[in-house]
């Protein structure tokens, strides 16, 4: 069955991530009194709904505090403030090579394009605004993790996109992302094609554990897998 919809992750997949998200995560934890969080542990939860990612890390570094919602909220609020400020002001915000070209090529072949993310809408908004993607004709929809009941690895975001864009069969959907949890999201949504990209948080070896159909090093190689 032909692919009718491609759902792309944002940070690390279509937007450059130079490690700033990981850095902000660790800074938010340090501000909350947990200053030993490792880079690799943060990378493990990249792609998750950020509230869930924080709970996972708190459970690892401060056992028992994962049930303290006020504590979790304080870290999440700090992370959100820092990320919004970063995306509103950084000179480093840019799309990954070939992202827009792929979006436009897919659209020219009547394949719908959507973005989803573990970020909240508050963080996502300045990314879309500064890249000119907010009302771009080559993006049909953007769904954020706080706009559905459950974020990745649950399929809620993909299911919402399918419903909104009138795509009936998951066999017609491709999921593209840079983390293992992106791959899991695709499997849980029963996507017809799942593609990992090595441009973000995870190495090829890490992505292989998510059992994608393909792993590519550049979005330049994506269209040939779909069209």
Select from 65, 89, 113 the last residue of a domain. 89
The domain tally of the chain equals: 2
| Same domain flag for 214 and 116 | yes
pLDDT at 163 over 90: yes
| Same domain flag for 111 and 81 | no
pLDDT of 22-70, one tens digit each? 999 999 999 999 999 999 999 999 999 999 999 999 999 998 888 899 9
Predicted pLDDT of residue 186: 98
Q: How confident is the model at residue 157 (pLDDT cuts 50, 70, 90)?
A: very high
**Paired sense of beta strands 214-216 and 112-117, if any:** unpaired
Contacts for 10 with CB less than 8 Å, ≥ 6 apart: 115, 116, 117, 119, 124, 127
Q: How far is CA 93 from the centre of its chain?
A: 16
| Same domain flag for 108 and 166 | yes
pLDDT of 65-87, one tens digit each? 888 999 999 999 999 999 999 99
pLDDT of 172-224, one tens digit each? 999 999 999 999 999 999 999 999 999 998 999 999 999 999 999 999 999 99
pLDDT at 109 over 90: yes
| Same domain flag for 73 and 116 | no
- The overall pTM is greater than 0.75: yes
| Same domain flag for 167 and 136 | yes
CATH number, residue 35: 1.10.150.240
Tokens linked to 115: 């973005």
Domain residue limits at 85: 20-89
| Same domain flag for 124 and 83 | no
Select from 89, 115, 141 the last residue of a domain. 89
Q: What is the mean pLDDT of residues 130-151?
A: 97
| Same domain flag for 70 and 11 | no
pLDDT of 113-125, one tens digit each? 999 999 999 999 9
Q: How confident is the model at residue 155 (pLDDT cuts 50, 70, 90)?
A: very high
| Same domain flag for 148 and 161 | yes
| Same domain flag for 12 and 115 | yes
Select from 59, 89, 119 the last residue of a domain. 89
CATH number, residue 143: 3.40.50.1000
CA atoms lying within 13 Å on the CB side of residue 4 = 12
| Same domain flag for 47 and 105 | no
DSSP string, the chain: ----EEEEESBTTTB---SHHHHHHHHHHHHTT-----HHHHHHTTTS-HHHHHHHHHHHHSTTGGG-HHHHHHHHHHHHHHHHHHHHH-S---BPTTHHHHHHHHHHTT-EEEEEESS-HHHHHHHHHHHT-TT-TT--EEEEGGGSS--TTSSHHHHHHHHHTT---GGGEEEEESSHHHHHHHHHTT-SEEEEETTSS--HHHHHTT--SEEESSGGGTHHHH-
What percentage of residues in the chain have a pLDDT greater than 70? 100
| Same domain flag for 175 and 215 | yes
| Same domain flag for 39 and 76 | yes
What percentage of residues in the chain have a pLDDT greater than 90? 96
């Amino acid at each position: 069955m032909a692919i009718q919809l491609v759902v792309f992750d944002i940070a690390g997949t279509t937007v450059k991530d130079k490690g700033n998200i990981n850095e902000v995560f660790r800074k938010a934890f340090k501000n909350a009194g947990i200053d030993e969080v490792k880079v690799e542990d943060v990378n493990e939860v990249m792609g998750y709904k950020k509230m869930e990612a924080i709970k996972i890390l708190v459970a690892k570094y401060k056992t028992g505090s994962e049930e303290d919602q006020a504590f979790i909220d304080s870290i999440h609020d700090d992370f959100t403030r820092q990320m919004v400020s970063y995306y509103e002001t950084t000179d480093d915000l840019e799309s990954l090579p070939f992202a827009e070209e792929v979006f436009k090529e897919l659209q020219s072949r009547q394949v719908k394009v959507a973005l989803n993310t573990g970020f909240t809408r508050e963080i996502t908004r300045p990314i879309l605004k500064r890249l000119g993607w907010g009302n771009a004709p080559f993006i049909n929809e953007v769904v954020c993790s706080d706009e559905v009941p459950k974020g990745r690895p649950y399929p809620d975001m993909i299911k919402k996109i399918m419903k909104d864009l009138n795509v009936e069969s998951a066999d017609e959907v491709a999921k593209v992302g840079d983390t293992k949890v992106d791959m899991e999201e695709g499997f849980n949504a029963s996507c017809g094609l799942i593609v990992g990209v090595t441009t973000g948080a995870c190495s090829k070896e890490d992505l292989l554990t998510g059992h994608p159909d393909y792993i590519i090093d550049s979005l330049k190689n994506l269209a040939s897998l779909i069209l």
